[in-house]
Amino acid sequence: MSVIGVVGAGVMGVGVAQNLAQCGYDVVLVDKDEETLDAARATITRNCRMSALMGGPALDADEILARITTAVGVGALAKASTVIENVTENWEIKQRVHREIDEVCAPDTVVIVNTSAIPITRVASLSSRPAQTVGVHFMNPVPAKPVVELIPGVHTSQETVQRTRDLLTGMGKKAVEVKDSAGFVSNRVLMLTVNEAAYLVHEGVATAEQVDEVFRGCFGHPMGPLETADLIGVDTILYSVEVLYEHYADSKYRPCPLLKQMTDAGLHGRKSGRGFYTYDG
């Protein structure tokens, strides 16, 4: 079986790499420095430990890590049949990385863009092979989420879509194919919901606890929108809303000033210990 390249060893890239390795694929995981790659290996070990406790399969971390080669820089992607890019949702960074991927990869490589907001056709415009560029919006945590959004760009070929579907099936995922549109289905709705929930707190209509209790209690959602914001990262929410606002030039996506203030103040949610809620340790 050929090697799958995974670019970016952040939360999403690590999840994708682990999921692939769990399903028997050989993976090369690349990022810009060794520290990030070391942290990625530690995260995979921890995730494997926790798997059975969360109702998933019992996983052998050593066996899974044995299928993942790590490397600094994109050079190691030359041998990959498919590359899944998972860098941060920042257009400048995405541009730079996709130009590098384009230079180093073999001509028949399929390039999958893992994004929650950026239009695929825009990313494909950077590539010399737009027919082989396709979007997949993976959900976090990747190994535990069975459904993804699959997004062909304007120029994506049917063959690329089929190869991507086959890979996703091999990863145990069901793909819901939707048209290219900034934010796709999930985040056009979710980001508006979280943004509006932040407005309710900002305007003093309700506390974060009250907003979340309404969603949990009335709708049966396992988490309220502001707990979700803390989990995703308040800064990430803000950037996503800003992408939607910029792309559609529609005032319904106006970012809540509270999200901006919290982002400036470093109140980024769980990862910084404080967001709409406070977290220990």
Partner 1 sequence: MANTHAQTIRAFIVGRHPQAELTDDQDIFSLGFINSLFAMELVMFIEKEFGVSLPNDELRIDNFRTVSSMAELVERRLAGAVSA
79 is in an annotated binding site: no
Closest separation between CB of residue 233 and partner 1, Å? 13
> In the complex with partner 1, which residue's Cβ is closer, 204 or 222?
222
DSSP H helices in 77-185: 91-104, 120-124, 158-170
Closest separation between CB of residue 27 and partner 1, Å? 21
> In the complex with partner 1, which residue's Cβ is closer, 177 or 213?
213
If phi > 0 it is left, if psi is from -120 to 50 it is alpha, else beta; for residue 184 that is left
**Residues in 166-225 that interact with partner 1 by CB under 8 A:** 213, 222-223
Q: Does 147 bind partner 1 (CB under 8 A)?
A: no
8 is in an annotated binding site: yes
How far lies 154's CA from each of 26, 136, 196, 247, 253, in Å?
30, 15, 32, 17, 25
Q: Does 249 bind partner 1 (CB under 8 A)?
A: no
Q: Does 50 bind partner 1 (CB under 8 A)?
A: yes
State the angle between helix axes of 225-232 and 234-248 in degrees (0 to 180), rounded to the nearest 10.
100
| Binding test (CB under 8 A) with partner 1, winner from 141, 155, 178, 199 | 141
Classify each residue of 169-208 as buried b or exposed e, where b means 16 or more C-beta atoms within 10 Å of its C-beta: eebebebeeeebebbbebbbebbbebbebbbbbeeeeeeb
Closest separation between CB of residue 52 and partner 1, Å? 6
With beta carbons less than 8 A apart as the criterion, state whether 148 and 139 touch: yes
Cα gap 21→66, rounded to integer Å: 8
| Binding test (CB under 8 A) with partner 1, winner from 158, 249, 250, 281 | 281
Closest separation between CB of residue 53 and partner 1, Å? 5
> In the complex with partner 1, which residue's Cβ is closer, 107 or 220?
220
Cα gap 265→259, rounded to integer Å: 10
Q: Does 55 bind partner 1 (CB under 8 A)?
A: yes
**Residues in 60-119 that interact with partner 1 by CB under 8 A:** none
- The site for partner 1, by CB under 8 A, has a size of 16
Q: Does 53 bind partner 1 (CB under 8 A)?
A: yes
- β-pair type (3-7, 80-85): parallel
Task: Give the closest residue to 134 by CA, choosing from 106, 168, 103.
Answer: 168
Binding segment for partner 1 among 31-39, 48-56, 168-176, 235-243 (CB under 8 A)? 48-56
**Number of helical H runs and strand E runs in the chain:** 11, 8
Q: Does 231 bind partner 1 (CB under 8 A)?
A: yes
Residue reference for tokens 């798997």: 51
63 is in an annotated binding site: no
Q: Does 139 bind partner 1 (CB under 8 A)?
A: no
Q: Where along the sequence are the contacts to partner 1 (CB under 8 A)?
A: 46, 49-50, 52-55, 58, 141, 144, 213, 222-223, 231, 270, 281
